[in-house]
């Protein structure tokens, strides 16, 4: 099977039986007839089996066969056969090669951050049992080339527009997929922002 224009062919394991850890030492098996649109069943990553020969707009990502790609979960609508799927180039946000993560232009992975201890305590008394996630702020996990040119680096705290964060797991970590145009600032004084 070979990709032609604008689409990659990827292998993902999201329709096979999966084990889910219940956190109490027990695991359950999720059968192969699961609903792909349920959040726990989303697949956001796969291995590239074939790259397109061209792009309708003349722009291809530098993705190669064997790279791991991170994409939109709607790939489940593009099943070819077995564990092979079509993945449009515009649905790919990042790729990993030789252990290094590269963002596709226009996309960033931002890790959620939690409130600091003084935001969960009043006069030494905890007012919350667990800290909430700080809204519209996060720590850069990986950023695109344009953000790097602006001297934004992994670990920096950024602010983003409301309702722009799309949660997904990358390298076992929860991150938000956020477009570069939706990030509007960098926070340099973490203590003033109440961030751990």
pTM of the shown model:
0.74
Q: What domains lie within the chain, and their CATH numbers?
A: 7-103 (no CATH), 107-193 (2.30.33.40)
Mean pLDDT value of segment 162-186: 91
pLDDT of residue 196: 53
Q: Is the pLDDT of residue 181 over 60?
A: yes
Task: Answer whether 41's CB lies under 8 Å from 30's CB.
Answer: yes
- Considering the chain, what is the average pLDDT of its residues? 80
Q: Tell me: the pLDDT tens digits for 22-34? A: 667 777 665 555 4
Alpha-helical runs (H) found in the chain: 117-120, 145-149, 190-193
Q: Which of 162, 145, 151 is nearest to 186 (CA)?
A: 151
Query: CA 172, 83, 103, 106: dihedral to nearest 10 degrees?
Result: -120
Mean pLDDT of 85-93: 89
To 10 degrees, the CA torsion angle through 47, 147, 105, 108?
50
Please give the DSSP secondary-structure letter assigned to residue 94. E
């Amino acid at each position: 099977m070979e990709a032609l224009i604008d689409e990659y062919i990827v292998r993902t394991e999201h329709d096979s039986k999966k084990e889910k850890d219940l956190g109490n030492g027990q695991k359950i098996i999720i059968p192969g007839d699961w609903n792909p649109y349920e959040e726990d069943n989303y697949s956001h990553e796969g291995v590239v089996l074939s790259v397109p020969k061209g792009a309708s707009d003349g722009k291809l990502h530098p993705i190669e066969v064997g790279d791991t790609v991170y994409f939109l979960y709607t790939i489940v609508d593009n099943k070819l056969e077995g564990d092979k799927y079509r993945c449009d180039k515009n649905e790919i946000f990042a790729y990993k090669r030789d252990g290094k993560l590269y963002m596709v232009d226009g996309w960033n992975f931002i890790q959620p951050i939690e409130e600091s201890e003084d935001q969960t305590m009043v006069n030494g008394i905890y007012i919350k049992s667990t800290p909430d996630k700080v809204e519209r702020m996060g720590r850069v996990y990986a950023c695109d080339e344009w953000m790097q040119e602006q001297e934004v680096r992994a670990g920096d705290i950024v602010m983003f527009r409301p309702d722009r964060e799309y949660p997904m797991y990358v390298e076992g970590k929860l991150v938000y997929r956020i477009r570069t145009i939706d990030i509007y600032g960098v926070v340099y004084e973490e203590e003033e922002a109440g961030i751990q």
